[in-house]
Amino acid sequence: MLQYALIFLIVAVVAGVLGFGGIAGASAGIAQILFFLFLLFLVISLVMHLVRGRG
C-alpha cells in the first residue's frame, strides 16, 4: 500500500509541474485536483501504515 502512495505522489508532482508551470495551461485545474487528491491518498496511506505497523 505504501508503494501506491509513493506512486501517487510522483504522479501528483508530475501533474502539478505540468499544470502549474504553464506547459499545459488548459489542464491546470485537473492537475490541481489530481495533486491534492493524490496528496490526500499519500497522507491516508502513511497514517494507515503507521497505525498498522505499531500493532
Q: Write the DSSP symbol of residue 25.
A: G
**Integer Cα distance of 46 and 51 in angstroms:** 9
Residue 28 belongs to some domain of the structure: yes
39 lies in which domain range?
2-49
Around Cβ 46, how many Cβ atoms within 10 Å?
14
Residue 54 belongs to some domain of the structure: no
pLDDT in tens, the chain (55 residues): 678 777 877 887 887 776 665 655 656 677 788 889 988 998 998 899 899 876 5
pTM: 0.49
**Integer Cα distance of 11 and 8 in angstroms:** 5
Q: How many domains does the chain have?
A: 1
Give the pLDDT score at 33. Answer: 84
Residue 25 belongs to some domain of the structure: yes
Residue 20 belongs to some domain of the structure: yes
